[in-house]
Amino acid sequence: MSRRTTTRYAVLGMLTHGPMTGYRLREEIRASVGHFWQESFGQLYPTLRDLEQEGLVARVGGGADRGEPVELTPAGREALRAWLAQEARSLSPERHELLLQLFFGRHADPGVIAAHLDRHRERLLQARERYRQIEQFVRAETSPDQPYWLATVRHGVLLVEAGLAWNAETAARLAEETT
């Protein structure tokens, strides 16, 4: 059953970087778009099988040997183009558990909300560090993909920085409350 899930296009997209095995595909996804897109094997392999049946990807050697990489077919490249032209459905149901805790924060024991904010800040700082490193790396890149890659990294940087600003502002406001 092929369900026109976005996994299909994540796969087709990654294959523009060259032929890969399913295993390698997941590594590449993790290493490049991993910050905003993940795939599990349980999702990848069935998708790969479907894509092959539909003729959007093909085994490189022609045979179906184990460990044989797959490559994009012209039809696959076309399918990718078609998806790129479609509006992204915001599939993410937008569930932010920390914000939910904050919303009901008045009923928490003293200090626990401040602790949550602290931990959240730590994670954001680490994320900012990661993004900054990736940004440096991408800026040095000469690939024609570079401006597109940079765009996704910059999204990470800017959103994390906004998160930090919010974190500081919120921690200050709630600290003021308890005085």
Residues that bind DNA (CB under 7 A): 3-7, 21-24, 27, 38-43, 45-46, 48-49, 66-68, 91, 93, 95
Contacting a copy of itself within 105-134 (CB under 8 A)? 105-109, 112-113, 116, 119
Give start and end residues of each alpha helix (H) in the chain.
6-14, 22-32, 41-53, 74-85, 97-103, 112-139, 146-178
Q: Which does 49 bind (CB under 5 to 8 A by kind): DNA, a copy of itself, none?
A: DNA
Q: Does 97 bind a copy of itself (CB under 8 A)?
A: yes
3-state secondary structure of 163: helix
Contacting a copy of itself within 42-81 (CB under 8 A)? 77, 80-81
Q: Does 95 bind a copy of itself (CB under 8 A)?
A: yes
Q: How far is the CB of 58 from a copy of itself (least distance, A)?
A: 18
* Strand (E) or helix (H) holding 57: strand 57-59
Query: How far is residue 69's CA from residue 55's CA, in Å, rounded to a whole number?
Result: 15
Q: Which does 172 bind (CB under 5 to 8 A by kind): a copy of itself, DNA, none?
A: none
Cβ-based nearer residue to DNA, 54 or 68: 68
The two three-digit tokens of residue 126, written as one number = 């680490």
3-state secondary structure of 59: strand
The two three-digit tokens of residue 168, written as one number = 């500081």
Cβ-based nearer residue to DNA, 56 or 138: 56
Which residues lie closer than 8 Å to 146 by C-beta, 6 or more apart? 138
The CB-side HSE value for 127 (13 A sphere, CA atoms) comes to 21
Which residue ranges make up the site for a copy of itself (CB under 8 A)? 6, 9-10, 13, 16, 32-33, 35-38, 77, 80-81, 83-85, 87-109, 112-113, 116, 119, 144-145, 147-152, 154-155, 158-159, 161-163, 165-166, 169-170, 173-174, 177
